[in-house]
């Protein structure tokens, strides 16, 4: 019996499912999620020098550092779960992990514009996505049932304030950030992603970085005003319709923190503004180690804390936030 035709068929079948780099070329039309942004959605793109790969990050899930800027899961995994798919592979691991469910281009610490972190900003992340399309790693047909999740700009504002930028010039800077973000979101859609979900700005003034000056007792009004102004401009810019969804993270955070406080009122951790992991003094941060000595403290039970470190929620915090977003997440699928 001549086995040559069968061999040729198997060879051709294999050649269209494996790329020359060793990653799988996704030839199907399954649901996919493409993620862009910073630490709220990064699932492992930063290299091993980042604190997301060091203790005590990941202490809750998976029980060790895994590249997430939290004690456990971050927002990406909640969205992917509700889409009925696995969390998309970080771009960094694209050649060694399946890419069937999409890809995560987010890098913790980055923003719409360049920040203090030497990693791709939003525009550069989209460049990476476009490059994969040009290489036919994903095709137009692959993208027909895809969604993009965008989380950026919080770091832009933190950097602006850290550099002691003029508050008088802050509104103009917010406008520039939103304008660029609008261009980035439209570009993702133009590349073939039918729907783009953009995370609105969370209440910046309630992040522990800004509340520690008030002994974690109240939020910073200036930070919250900036977030509200950002969200107002963003909704106006995108004119949310079927192709764009703006997730109201501001209200979700505020409602979740209130409920979190009520549900843990009998606990010593009832203050949602107080982070679980902090440096032993103001000069240190969560995860800092000096001469092999830990320079941070971790709360007894992260499940009773809303914020993990100065900027990011715990897994329990994300649980509460996602619960508050409710139907707005359902509308994505």
Please indicate whether residue 309 is annotated as part of the active site. Answer: yes
On whether the CB atoms of residues 257 and 265 are closer than 8 A, the answer is: no
Residues 6+ apart with CB under 8 A from 68: 42, 43, 44, 52, 57, 58, 74
Please indicate whether residue 184 is annotated as part of the active site. Answer: no
What is the C-alpha to C-alpha distance for residues 223 and 207, in angstroms, rounded to an integer?
A: 9
* Cα separation values, 81 from 24, 195, 252, 262, Å: 22, 17, 19, 27
Closest CA to 157 of 248, 230, 108, 107: 230
Token pair recorded at residue 227: 């977030």
Residues 6+ apart with CB under 8 A from 264: 270, 304
What is the C-alpha to C-alpha distance for residues 168 and 25, in angstroms, rounded to an integer?
A: 50
Residue of 26, 42, 71, 309 marked catalytic: 309
Residue of 19, 39, 52, 269 marked catalytic: 39
Residues 6+ apart with CB under 8 A from 31: 83, 84, 85, 101, 145, 146, 147, 333
SS3 39: coil
What is the C-alpha to C-alpha distance for residues 54 and 124, in angstroms, rounded to an integer?
A: 26
Tell me how crowded residue 185 is: count the other CB atoms within 10 A of its CB.
26
Q: Cite the active site residues.
A: 39, 309
């Amino acid at each position: 019996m001549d086995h040559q035709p069968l061999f040729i068929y198997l060879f051709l079948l294999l050649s269209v499912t494996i790329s020359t780099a060793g990653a799988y070329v996704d030839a199907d039309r399954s649901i996919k999620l493409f993620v862009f942004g910073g630490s709220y959605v990064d699932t492992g793109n930063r290299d091993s020098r980042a604190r997301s790969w060091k203790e005590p990050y990941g202490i809750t899930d998976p029980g060790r550092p895994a590249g997430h800027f939290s004690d456990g899961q971050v927002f990406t995994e909640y969205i992917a779960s509700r889409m009925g798919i696995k969390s998309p592979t970080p771009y960094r691991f694209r050649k060694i992990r399946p890419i069937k469910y999409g890809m995560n281009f987010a890098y913790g610490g980055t923003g719409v514009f360049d920040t203090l972190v030497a990693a791709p900003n939003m525009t550069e992340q989209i460049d990476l996505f476009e490059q994969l399309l040009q290489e036919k790693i994903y095709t137009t047909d692959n993208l027909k049932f895809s969604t993009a999740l965008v989380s950026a700009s919080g770091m832009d504002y933190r950097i602006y304030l850290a550099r002691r930028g003029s508050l008088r010039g802050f509104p103009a800077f917010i406008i520039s950030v939103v304008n660029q973000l609008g261009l980035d979101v439209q570009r993702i859609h133009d590349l073939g992603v039918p729907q783009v979900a953009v995370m609105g700005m969370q209440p910046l003034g309630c992040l522990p970085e800004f509340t520690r000056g008030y002994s974690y007792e109240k939020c910073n009004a200036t930070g919250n005003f900036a977030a509200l102004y950002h969200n107002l401009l963003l909704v106006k810019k995108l004119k949310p319709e079927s192709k764009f969804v703006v997730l109201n993270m501001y209200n979700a955070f505020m409602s979740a923190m209130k409920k979190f406080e009520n549900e843990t009122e009998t606990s010593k951790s009832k203050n949602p503004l107080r982070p679980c992991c902090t440096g032993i003094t103001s000069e240190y941060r969560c995860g800092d180690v000096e001469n092999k000595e830990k320079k941070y403290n971790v709360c007894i039970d992260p499940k009773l804390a809303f914020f993990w470190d100065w900027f990011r929620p715990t897994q329990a915090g994300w649980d509460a936030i996602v619960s508050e977003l409710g139907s707005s997440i359902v509308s994505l699928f």
